[in-house]
Structure 1
């Protein structure tokens, strides 16, 4: 699915930095660096294990951002997973970002204003500290007091970040390290970008609290999207949707793939 998605969004005008989880046993993913080595704008990070809900999610994204900052030729950092797929033309996304006046698109909701059920779940999930060890995030018998520090924001980890926002966040981490609540909370990738620059004057004007993603949940997790989901995806106005599986989502992938006919990968 990663190669299918990459083929759908590839353009020689953009740069692509890819990390493949070291836990993945998919041989086709292991072969990608060699398969794509002829493309100078595609870079593969050294593989590391990433734990769902663990600090490694943030560590890998920061490593990706640091590598991106060595290239002066980009304006927006678009964070995708290997199960994402574009559902609008790439040209439309480029047009929106060019006219965004350097603002970042982040799903950012104040925790205090969340629906009671979600608010309660977040409180319950973060009563105690978490520590990533041996490829898994473990809950420790140590109370974690973080809800008293308001305003505190929460949201999806999928976003479009302007270069200036990424640069300021990396500078903050370099000077002060990761805030304690982000190092020990559950699922830190859902609070990092939402909060890292909270004390910067005018930060609200630099953020659009919508990330242009379509995600349909089934219980606690995103469902695999199928052909029946196409009308809802199209009416959402999102640029990307998830999750797609090459077999389960074949009809949906086939529907959206022709949106970018000029792709020149493979």
Structure 2
């Protein structure tokens, strides 16, 4: 008896091999609905192959470090250098050697829902995760560049395992651990991409908490960046303890 298109759809969903006899059989089925299902299968297959290829390409720095005898490799990245409010947050992530997270990339290229999904997957696929943050008052005291380095160092200290090698996104840290600084590392290394997602989701959650304290500023929408909405709220309601007093235009608002 001929299968319905719904039954075929169910069977195709579990097929991963282009040489599968059932897939080949479906290709010979002239029903329009079946041909559309086959076309959709091939499209998804190609997408998965591309994501797989991207993932293994983003493992090259980790593989190089492993080849040189390092096995606890931490990717490190930060989020929140540019905003006018909120902390700068860094994360350090040591992934399992057999991890597989296709589609993971720089957190800026992912939607909020994708970041949340990857956040959970990274926790499942990690050996250790550390997070470090630096408050606006310390940022004002030591400047944002130094604060970023402090946040990164804190993230490393908060790992449950001590890394033997560091992969950093365009930064160098004054720590006694061998390291490689990679330009645009969050889209070049899977470990750095993982740390960028952890840092971004963590910081966004902090900003949502701050938004609950100060709903008039809309921190949950702009995450502290200098949007029109944020600047208008500053002009109306003034500066909070979560604002970076050394940043323009906050500095000007305090010293008109």
Bigger helix share: 2
Structure with bigger RCO (C-alpha 8 Å, 6+ apart): 1
Q: Judging by fraction of residues, say which structure has more strand.
A: 1
- Taking structure 1 as the reference length, the TM-score comes to 0.24
